[in-house]
Amino acid sequence: MIAPGTPTLSPALSLPGRGRRTRGFTLLEVMVALALLAAALMAIADLSGNALRNHAYARDLSAATLLARGKMAELEQKYDDEGFKDFDQEEEGDFTDAGRPDLHWRFQLVKPDGDLSADQLVSLLAGGGADAQDLIAKVMGGMGAAGAAGAAGALTGTGAQPRPEPEGAERRARRQPGGPAQPRGHRPGSGRPGRRLERERAMSGVTSGGRGARGVTLIEVMIAVAITAIIGVTVTGAFQRIYAAKELTESQDERFSSARVALTRLSRELSQAFLSDHYDHKRFREPLTVFRGKDGGDRDDLLFTTMSHARLVQDAKESDQSLVEYTVEPDPARPGDSVLFRREKAHIDEEPDRGGAKEVVCEHVATFDVQYWDWKRQDWAREWVTNSAEHANVLPTRVKVRLGLKMPDGKERAFETQARVAIIRPLSF
């Protein structure tokens, strides 16, 4: 016997031990969920693949930039020697000789028209047969129209506009006859406890008979686990391959970047190489400035004086002249590997092979080949020494540098560029 006023437990809040349970997942629902999960994982894998393709594009772009720079130096030398013709010229080709037949180049040389007068230039700028006054009128008129349009827009845009009333405001403010305003979606009699209880029980899956809907069976669980395992193995393998490719690509990009920086720096220094006759002839038998390139097979040595030195310390007793040497030597940190060393000596003296600061500019070097354009014989030379009889006191007009690196996959990738030497004769002024 329950006393009046004693609270009772609502059927909608009964405990699981009362024989009521919620509806389980069916096999179709599990398969749909796994399919959505697999689609999401494959989308992530596709994004990683796009990132790897972008890395490959950036790698090819670096190689194309170096090759294009060398081709420009070659074409500049060619047209300086042959001169320009009285008509437009066009050339095209690829970089098969540099080991990149997939990269193509095209060169266009357009003859400028120097016979145009000032009125003709103004007419071309005006887009027709207008003169200078018409062009000025058009420009000023266009500015006036734009200013007027802007002012009109400012005047019309700042006016007070009536704010539209939100949709359904009238319905929300509507009052029921004979009672206070009711919220939107309210129906008379919808607040009764019986109907609210039925909706809660329907949402929670509880039936009035105390019996829950059918859950998953052991066979369905085993099938779902098998499908999950298959999808998991597939996705895990895909992610492992993507991660391995990512590591390989990042390592390759690092080596590509080091090769690009090293060749860019070497090209800049070679373009400012110089010789000078300004030295004490009584004290020294030979000039202090030198250009010496020795053929060492796949590992050449290059030593020269340049005007590309940058002072890094304020008030340092240094100039823009220095002596630079590039050599390939064994890597002290990795036995069996080789690196490209750069030695710079800020003060040029009678001992070019001694002194200076030495640093590593590129690692994992396999080949370092340098060739020099002999403008007298119109052919590439393997060696160039300015204190020899063959190339006494003269520099090559172009220098071609080929740098080969060992990639993480064991293959060798070559980078090539050219630098044009601006001053080939000794300074004697």
Mapping DSSP to helix (H, G, I), strand (E, B) and coil, where does residue 117 land? coil
Helices assigned H by DSSP within 272-392: none
Report field, pTM of the whole predicted structure over 0.85: no
Q: Where are the domains of the chain?
A: 24-111+216-429
Identity of residue 4: P
Higher-confidence residue of 238 and 295: namely 295
Whether residue 388 has pLDDT greater than 90: no
Instruction: Kindly report, residue by residue over 203-261, the tens digit of the pLDDT.
Output: 544 444 444 455 667 887 888 788 888 877 877 887 787 777 778 777 888 888 888 88
For residue 370, the SS3 value is strand
Q: What's the N-to-C CA distance of the chain in angstroms?
A: 124
Binning pLDDT at 50, 70 and 90, where does residue 117 land?
low
Q: What pLDDT, on a 0 to 100 scale, did the predictor assign at position 122?
A: 63
pLDDT digits (tens, 9 = 90+) for 332-362: 888 889 999 999 999 998 899 999 999 999 9
Backbone angles phi, psi at 115, to 5 degrees: -95, 5
Is residue 368 a contact partner of residue 300, using CB atoms and an 8 Å limit?
yes
Judged against a pLDDT cut of 60, whether residue 17 lies above it is answered with: no
Tally of CB atoms within 10 A around 338: 20
